[in-house]
Amino acid sequence: MRKKINILALSPEQFAVLLSGLGHPAYRAGQILVWLYQKGARSFAEMTNLPKSLRQQLSEFAEIGFLETVKRQVSRDGTEKYLFALADGQMVETVGLPYNIGYSACISTQVGCKMGCIFCASGLPGFGRNLSAAEILAQVLQIKEELSAQGKELKSLVLMGTGEPLDNFAAMVPFLEAVRDPQRLGMSLRHVTLSTAGLVPKIRELAALKLPLTLAVSLHASNNTLRDKIMPINKKYQMEELLAACDEYSKLTGRRITYEYTLIEGLNDGIKEARELALLLKKRACHLNLIPFNAVPELGLSPSPQPVMQAFVAALRSSGLKVTVRRRLGADIAAACGQLSNKMSGDC
């Protein structure tokens, strides 16, 4: 049997080609996009302003690739975590995070992850596969719909769920196009943050696209020896090379980089590391986001005690660096940074 075309993430131009192949005028594409992105249609039968013959043809040749919600958990702090099943039976997790200005959706880009960062549960089950642009977009549409049914609004996206987004670059580009296309999600890329472990050539490729999205770079160490231990990718792309690529990203896009630093007890949380970090970052167009480590029993690491964290923050601030400490959200349902592992319980 012929595989059906998943119409989620098709661009208006691709829709027009599909429709012309079925013998229908291009303007029908606009009608279908309204049904999909504004009216939340889940079937072609609902698209009642389309001719019956077209609805019949679409049902034969195409599908609307929504994901099956296997489980939904809600944290005490309002964080919502979804376990979605993909068409091939693989699973992904998506998280809705409550902020004062509205919700942010934390989206997965791969099943599992290859990067092996030692503080993160996402790679523990191994790498499954890349998600398609349509599967990434489906997570956004479904979480948006769930929130809207509760009277809540989706305001921003963070590509910080399971997977390394830049290791799935081919899906990222059409996904981001769908996000900013006014006929589809119509969300400004200024409200999108893409997190990376530091795939230097792909950071440069992304920079060349000059998109206004925020790049969040997982640093988690203040020197190469330490980063080699925490993030294996550092053995391939050392920190000097990574920071130079980030500088280029800032220059080409006009956007400040957000550096992420998870504080792990006894590993990277000393005053020496704080001073090294300040030296590395204080002359750069950037922002430093410190993340209290979220426990994952299998990883054998502990969060830095509060006084250690406070001393680390004070040392950085005294150097003039702009530092924030990330709020811990969803830890009671294993939805916080580094805890996603499809156990129904990644984060870059």
Residues that bind ligand SF4 (CB under 6 A): 113, 115-117, 120, 122-123, 162-164, 197, 218, 346-348
Residue 105: CB minimum distance to ligand SF4, A: 16
Nearer to ligand SF4, 282 or 326 (CB): 326
CA atoms within 13 A on the CB side of 154: 25
List b or e across 225-238, with b for residues whose CB sees 16 or more CB atoms inside 10 angstroms.
ebbeebbbbbeebe
* Whole-number Å distance between alpha carbons of 83 and 94: 7
Return d(Cα 179, Cα 272) in angstroms, integer.
Answer: 42
Least Å from the CB of residue 38 to ligand SF4 = 32
The least CB distance from residue 232 to ligand SF4, in Å, is: 9
Q: How far is the CB of 73 from ligand SF4 (least distance, A)?
A: 20
Bridge-based pairing of strands 192-196 and 102-106 is unpaired
Beta bridge pairs of residue 110: 130
* Residue 176 one-letter amino acid: L
Tokens of 20: 């012309």
Nearest alpha-carbon partner for 65 in 128, 130, 10: 10
What is the nearest approach in angstroms of ligand SF4 to the Cβ of residue 165? 9
Out of 80, 93, 146, 164, the active site residue is 93
CA neighbor of 165 nearest in space, from 134, 136, 208, 207: 136
Pairing of strands 91-99, 80-85: antiparallel
Nearer of residues 120 and 257 to ligand SF4, judged by Cβ: 120
What is the three-class DSSP state of 190?
helix
Q: Which of 106, 286, 337, 348 is catalytic?
A: 337
Between residues 15 and 261, which has the closer beta carbon with respect to ligand SF4?
A: 261
Estimate the crossing angle of helix 133-149 against helix 169-180, to 10 degrees: 40
Select 80 or 260, whichever has its Cβ closest to ligand SF4. 260
Q: Is 93 annotated in the active site?
A: yes
Residue 113 vs 215, nearer CB to ligand SF4: 113
DSSP letter at 26 equals: T
Q: How far is the CB of 305 from ligand SF4 (least distance, A)?
A: 23
- CA distances in angstroms from 184 to 12, 138, 173, 188, listed in the order given: 9, 12, 15, 12
Tell me the DSSP string of 30-77: HHHHIIIIIS---SGGG-TTS-HHHHHHHHHHEE--PPEEEEEEE-TT
State in angstroms the smallest separation of the CB of 302 from ligand SF4. 18
- Catalytically active residues, by annotation: 93, 337
